[in-house]
Structure 1
C-alpha cells in the first residue's frame, strides 16, 4: 500500500500536469464551481511543479537551484508585503502568501513546459 502511494507521488512529480487536470476535474464534480476548482487545482499542485522544475534544472543544467528558488520566493514575498504596507497600511500575510503561491504556480508551470521542450530537444540533438 505504501509503495502505491510512493509511486503515485513520484508519477505526479514527474508529470504534474496530470495531477492538475485530475484535481480540477474532481473539484468540479465536488463543488460545481469552475473558478473554485481551478484555485483548488493550483493550490494543490504547485508543490509538484516546484519539485519537478527543480529536478529538471538539475538534470538539464547539472546544478541545483533550490537555494535560488527559496531566495526568489522570499524576495517576492517581501515585495508583496511592502506593496501591501504602502498601499493599505495593513499587512495581511495570508493574502500575501496566497498571491505568491499563485504566482509561483504560473512561473513554475511555464518553466515546466519550457524545460520539457528544452529537455526533449537536448536529448534529440545530443
Structure 2
C-alpha cells in the first residue's frame, strides 16, 4: 500500500512557517515561502504536458484566484492557445499582458459577457 502524502519537512524550502510566530512574522515567512515556490516554477523547464493544445479556462478574473494560476500553469506546460473567460473582465487585460510577457509563444485570447453584449 502506498504511503500517505506527508507535509513538507521543516527543512524543506517550501515548508510552512511554524504556527507559533506572530502574525507579522508569519506573513513575512509566508511571502518568502511563496517567492521560493514561484522561483522554482519559473526556473523549471517547461514540461510540455499540454504542448500544442488549445485550452479554455473559466473564472480567471480574480487577481489571486485558481483560474489565473491555472492559466499560468497551462502556459508553462506548453499550451499553444489559451482562451480565458470570466464574468467580470476588468482584470483580463492585465492577465493577458502578464501571460504574453512570461510566455510569448502562447497565444492568449480573453472574453467576458460584456464583450459579447457590446457586439451585434
Relative to the length of structure 2, the TM-score reads 0.28
TM-score computed with the length of structure 1 as normaliser: 0.27
Q: Which has the bigger relative contact order, CA under 8 A and spacing at least 6?
A: 1
> Larger strand proportion, structure 1 or 2?
2
